Amino acid sequence: MMDTDACIHPYPAGNSSVRRMAIEAGALGFSGIVVPGEMPGVYQGVHIIPAVLIRENDIRKVTGQIRKHGASGILIFVDAGDTGFNRAVLAQTGVHGIRSIHRIPKNAFDHISARLAHENGIAVEIDLYPLIHERGVSRQRVLNRYNDLMKLHSRFQFPLILSSNACSVLDLRSPEEIRLLCSLFGMNKDDTNQALRTISTLLSPLESVMVVP
């Protein structure tokens, strides 16, 4: 089981190459990084794990994207939306994670969504980028949302993943720094360690089709 940053954005979305970000992530203590749109590979022992980010807000378009990419052996993550959309996404076969929970209305991810995520083994992303870069009220709002998410997690035990969503090597954080950040909203060390390794669990069904040199 490897510690993995569940989403980074190298060039051209960011300003650092995937190779440089992988090497830096390895120096910080990671064994893997999830990179949307990238081919699988390894840089100095750090596994590059490809993913597709679906940002549609129409469940029919989401379903079409899942069908398009579902047999390709890559992770499929969907941006969260309103309550009905989230429940529909979490009932879809082939989805590995739901993202951007902090950007949606407070009750859009509710106990029904939490139960669906648990039953279907779909991970919920905790995006650390706003905790690193935002200040004041905006940062406190995100902390409150993640605190609410952890209350649902303690009840329903759905998988969690942790993403720096780094666009530069300067945005990357070590597993230890991530543990400290997660403690700000009540996530204990055991839950954080498990979340850092959730990607390995999500990859298990894909191993027969995913090739990592």
How many other C-beta atoms can be found within 10 angstroms of the C-beta atom of residue 206? 15
Q: How far apart are CA 30 and CA 26, in angstroms?
A: 5
Which percentage of the chain shows pLDDT scores above 90? Answer: 91
Query: Ramachandran region of residue 211, left (φ > 0), alpha (ψ -120 to 50) or beta?
Result: beta
Mean pLDDT of all residues belonging to the chain: 93
Q: Is 101's pLDDT higher than 70?
A: yes
Q: Which two tokens stand for residue 19?
A: 């190779």
pLDDT band of 205, cuts 50, 70, 90:
low
pTM of the model: 0.92
Q: 197 near 2, Cβ under 8 Å?
A: yes
- The Cα 128–Cα 77 span in angstroms is 16
Whether the pLDDT of residue 179 is over 70: the answer is yes
The pLDDT assigned to 204 comes to 78
Query: Which residues does residue 29 pair with via DSSP β-bridges, in sequence order?
Result: none
Report the percent of the chain where pLDDT is more than 70.
95
Rg (CA), the chain: 16
- Strand ranges (E), the chain: 4-5, 32-36, 41-43, 46-54, 75-79, 97-99, 123-127, 160-163
Question: What is 127-161 written as a DSSP string?
Answer: E-HHHHH--HHHHHHHHHHHHHHHHHHHHH---EE
pLDDT at 206: 57
- Tell me which residue has tokens 């209350």: 151
Average pLDDT over residues 138-162: 97
pLDDT score of 140 more than 80? yes
Q: Is the pLDDT of residue 176 over 60?
A: yes
Domains, the chain, ordered by start: 4-206 (3.20.20.140)
> End-to-end distance of the chain based on CA atoms, in angstroms?
18
Note the pLDDT of residue 73.
Answer: 76
Output the pLDDT for position 88. Answer: 97
Taking each helix axis as running N to C, give the angle between helix 59-69 and helix 83-90, from 0 to 180 degrees, rounded to the nearest 10: 30
- Structure confidence by residue, pLDDT tens digits, 13-40: 999 999 999 999 999 999 999 999 999 9
Selection from 31, 26, 32, 27 nearest residue 7 by Cα: 32
50-54: average pLDDT: 96
H helices of 29-110, in order, are: 59-69, 83-90
